[in-house]
Amino acid sequence: MIRRDELTTYLNEYLHISEFTDLGPNGLQVEGKPAIQNIICGVSASVELFGQAIEHKSDAILVHHGIIWNFERPVYRGGYKKRVKLLLENNLNLLAYHLPLDAHPDVGNNIVMAKHLGLQDIQPFGEYKGQFVGFQGTVNNIPSEQMFDLIRKEINPEALIFPFGPTLIRRVGIISGGAQKDVTQAVAEGLDLYLTGEVSEHILHYVKEEGIHFVAAGHYATERFGVQALGRHIAEKFDVNVTFIDIPNPV
């Protein structure tokens, strides 16, 4: 068991949240029980996730996408009201870590994917408001189709691939989530393949003209890795139970 404030302080420091200019607050978003023994992890806050946390008799919920964002000011009705109501009525803590959980060099979404894909010589990549949130690395001249198969196996079998790069792949960049526009940084770096979560219509023509492979492996699919790795870290460091709840999203 761990005290809520102790866990929050530890995670805030471990994930270096003060170094990021983010789209919402990182850390504790809703205060619940002061003592925590059971934690549910998930990618995105939702009524479904909160309901499962209640069924698991959890004390806290840890997510990548929380319920407070700078770009929206929802009123307390509909689904948003249900989310808040479930948290408050069941005295559940909600902790959310966004960009810090993309960028972390040990438990972040991007470093975990880089290791799953066998990247070597891994370096920070993908600058966002003064901080690197992704990683780039090298592979040993892998045939492009072999690399695509590895991505389908390790990240998402339904990954959307625009195969316009070289036949042999050596340099790969990764930024999870909705970072399709950052393919321009991949081109500027001279990478052979860029992997992210989402894609916009104009990207196909851009990557075809620039001669780079582009992979949209799913926003949800590319952001399952960090929260699971962070959950394992918490379970190993503290005397708490951590369970990841997979609520698939095709986007």
The CATH number of the domain holding residue 209 is: 3.40.1390.30
Which pLDDT belongs to residue 72? 85
- 87 with 63, same domain: the answer is yes
**Tens of pLDDT, residues 46-86:** 999 999 999 999 999 999 999 999 988 888 899 999 999 99
- 76 with 118, same domain: the answer is no
**Tens of pLDDT, residues 160-193:** 999 999 999 999 999 999 999 999 999 999 999 9
From 110, 89, 83, select the one nearest 99 (Cα to Cα). 110
- 89 with 129, same domain: the answer is no
**Tens of pLDDT, residues 147-161:** 999 999 999 999 999
Please state, for a pLDDT cut of 90, what percent of the chain lies above it.
96
d(Cα 29, Cα 50) in Å, to the nearest integer?
14
- 114 with 217, same domain: the answer is yes
Which pLDDT belongs to residue 73? 83
Q: What is the mean pLDDT of residues 112-132?
A: 96
d(Cα 192, Cα 172) in Å, to the nearest integer?
6
Which pLDDT belongs to residue 55? 97
**Tens of pLDDT, residues 200-235:** 999 999 999 999 999 999 999 999 999 999 999 999
The residue with tokens 């081109």 is 187
Q: What is the mean pLDDT of residues 14-31?
A: 97
Is 182 part of a structural domain of the chain? yes
pTM of the model: 0.96
- 6 with 107, same domain: the answer is no
Is 250 part of a structural domain of the chain? no
- 21 with 34, same domain: the answer is yes
Is 249 part of a structural domain of the chain? no
From 112, 103, 108, 155, select the one nearest 134 (Cα to Cα). 103
Average pLDDT over the chain, rounded to an integer: 97
- 113 with 145, same domain: the answer is yes
d(Cα 51, Cα 40) in Å, to the nearest integer?
11
Residue 43: what are its φ and ψ, rounded to 5°? -75, -50
Is 251 part of a structural domain of the chain? no
- 36 with 118, same domain: the answer is no
d(Cα 52, Cα 85) in Å, to the nearest integer?
15
Q: What is the mean pLDDT of residues 140-147?
A: 97
Domain limits at 155?
Answer: 103-221
- 172 with 239, same domain: the answer is no
- 45 with 152, same domain: the answer is no
